[in-house]
Structure 1
């Protein structure tokens, strides 16, 4: 399954050399190449993919922790509110 991507006109774009798909950020292109064209990449491109993948994984981990913390705060906030308000 190939997702269609587009870049707004006037914005810088990065095009995949293997399939021609455009991306609005260089990091998206690097991740795309590693996931879709991994067998065709040079060592430098593979290293760039691994670095971008690790960075993206770290950002997702932090987002999940923040979302969990927010849910816990909401839960206990409603619990305390329920116990205080008659």
Structure 2
């Protein structure tokens, strides 16, 4: 499976976490753990696999929270427009 490498940018004053398998830099250790688990799953040590699972769970929790906040914003916007329409017309 070939994945296209995203364009990663590490600020000059930040510590770069570099994948020892392909040399791709990451700004956060969690992103490196996710990269290893997605792009190099056959080469993972038990500690790297555990780091990947932890990072994946954190990423899923962050996505779930974002989806709930986005849904709440859409509902608030909908009812805001509905109340505005009810008052104006």
TM range (shorter): over 0.9
- Gapped regions of structure 2 (runs ≥ 5): none
Does the alignment pair 1:57 with 2:43?
Answer: no
TM-score (ref. length: structure 2): 0.91
- Gapped regions of structure 1 (runs ≥ 5): none
Runs of 4+ with >3 A deviation: none
Does the alignment pair 1:83 with 2:86?
Answer: yes
Instruction: Report the Cα distance in structure 1 between the residues aligned to 2:5 and 2:14, rounded to whole angstroms.
Output: 22
Instruction: Report the Cα distance in structure 2 between the residues aligned to 1:19 and 1:48, rounded to whole angstroms.
Output: 18
Count of matched residue positions in the alignment of Structure 1 and Structure 2: 86
**Displacement after TM superposition at 1:8 (Å):** 2.2
Question: 2:34: which partner in 1?
Answer: 31
TM-score (ref. length: structure 1): 0.94
CA RMSD of aligned residues (A): 0.9
More off after superposition, 26-35 vs 5-14: 5-14
Does the alignment pair 1:11 with 2:17?
Answer: no
Instruction: Report the Cα distance in structure 2 between the residues aligned to 1:13 and 1:69, rounded to whole angstroms.
Output: 36
